[in-house]
Every structure is written in structure tokens, then in C-alpha cells.
Amino acid sequence: MGVGLEIRGLRARHGEREILQGVDLEVRPGEVHAIMGPNGAGKSTLGKVLAGSEEYEVTGGSATLDGQDLLALEAEERAARGLFLGFQYPVEIPGVSNAYFLRTALNAQRKARGEPELGAGAFIKMLKEKMARLDMDPTFKDRFVNVGFSGGEKKRNEILQLLMFNPRVAVLDETDSGLDIDALRVVARGVNSLRDGEHGILVITHYQRLLDYIVPDVVHVFMDGRIVRSGPKELALELEDKGYASVRPAVA
């Protein structure tokens, strides 16, 4: 196995505004990291830049996955290499069923890695097993991707994609948004099933409650486009109690 995700001095802008201002972060296989920070700090931008969004221009620094330069790859190549981004606002794809989307995307990734494609029988068996793990109604496989889904259903569908694609590193952007307690537990169970020493997980969240279910190894405070403080899981409790103003003096 390689070294996971390594980010060094990453800078990126949207138009004339520089949003990422020198991000340094390492997520090793088997580790779970959490990023917390106020609105507008650049947390979601980090995930999108790593995934290859064309909205942003990288102006400095580096990002590698298992030693491979992510920034030199197209978005679909990054996915095939093992990077997954769970969106804060999952998109709807009218006319495309969940099963068709997942099989097409999964086989495209396998082909890019030189692996054989999954046949229909093997794919359906895998899909049913992953859906059962997330307590999803089997009929969801035939519904159009996220069309008519509630907020919680969309997030559960994101975790289904995560389990099907089995990435090396997963970046989950506010996965807890729109989830009630029962759904949060189910989603966390799916995420925690990847804590096996081979996967790295980066969780972006506003709230400590998610971290009761997906317990991080490290918590990072993200402000003004960069990480300004890191610490153990107890740091999330401090932020919940005192707010982000308590760490502003560390920004210097």
C-alpha cells in the first residue's frame, strides 16, 4: 500500500479571490481526519479542488495520492486512482437509474485500472449487499439518481456510492447535513466499515455530533483558507463549547 493523501502548501482561487491559502495535510491509510471551521473558510473548496473541479484554479502547492500527482490528472482519472468526494449538495440525474449509474461508473474505473468489468450478476449481488448495509429499500436501485430523494436519502445514496467504489481516500463534505439521528447512525456505520487500515477518510463538518459516530484520529480547524490548528478528537468538543473565536489567536 502507498502513503495515502499528501497535501503541501496547496493554494487555489475562484476568479480573483484566493480561497485556499497554503493547506498542509496528510491522511494515511487507516486514518480518519475531521475538518471543522466556520462558513466561508474554504472547507468545501478543498474537497472540490482535490476532486478536480474546473471552478477553481490551483495557483501553488501539491496534492498526491499514493505518490501520484493528483493535480496532473483529470477528474475521472483521480476517481479511478481512488479519490472519492461525497458532495455537500448531491446532484440529481433525471433519466438515469441508480443501478445504471453505479455500474457504468464502477466499470469505467475498473477499466481505467486494467481490471475486468463486473458482469450484471456480480454487480447486482454487490449492490444488494451494500444497500442492505445502509438499510436502503431495494427499489432505490431503479429510481433516478437522487430525483425526488429527501436530503437524508441523498446522503445515504452518497455513502452507497462510497461503498461501491471502495476508494483509497474518501472526502466527505458535510455528510451529516439533513440527517436525523437514525439516518446518521446508518451512514456512520457505512463509513466506519472502511476503517480497515487500507482507506483514508477526511470528514468535513460543522458539528461535533457527527464525530460521536465517526470518531476521528485527528481534528483540524480550518480558517482563512488553511489549517490553523490540529488536535485530538477532544478539540471538536472545545470548538462546540467555545466556538471558532477561541482559536483565532493561533492564526499568525
For residue 209, what is the domain's CATH number?
3.40.50.300
What phi and psi values does residue 168 have, to the nearest 5 degrees?
-75, -40
How far, CA to CA in Å, does 149 sit from each of 34, 102, 140, 178, 215?
27, 17, 10, 12, 28
Q: Which of 209, 168, 169, 167 is nearest to 187 (CA)?
A: 209
Burial of 234 (C-beta count, 10 Å sphere; 0-12/13-18/19+): exposed
Helix, coil or strand: residue 134: coil
Burial of 121 (C-beta count, 10 Å sphere; 0-12/13-18/19+): exposed
pLDDT at 90: 86
> What does pLDDT average to in each consecutive run of 10 residues of the chain (252 residues)?
86 95 96 93 94 95 96 95 90 95 96 94 96 92 93 89 95 86 89 91 90 94 94 91 73 40
Pairing of strands 57-65, 226-231: unpaired
Residue 54 to residue 49: CA distance in whole angstroms:
8
Sign of CA dihedral 45, 49, 54, 59: positive
DSSP symbol at 89: S
Helix, coil or strand: residue 27: strand
**Angle formed by the axes of helices 120-133 and 98-112, to 10°?**
110
pLDDT at 2: 54
pLDDT at 252: 38
Helix, coil or strand: residue 234: helix
pLDDT at 146: 93
Which residues does 38 contact at the CB level (< 8 Å), separation at least 6?
223, 244
Number of domains into which the chain is organized: 1
Domain span at 131: 5-250
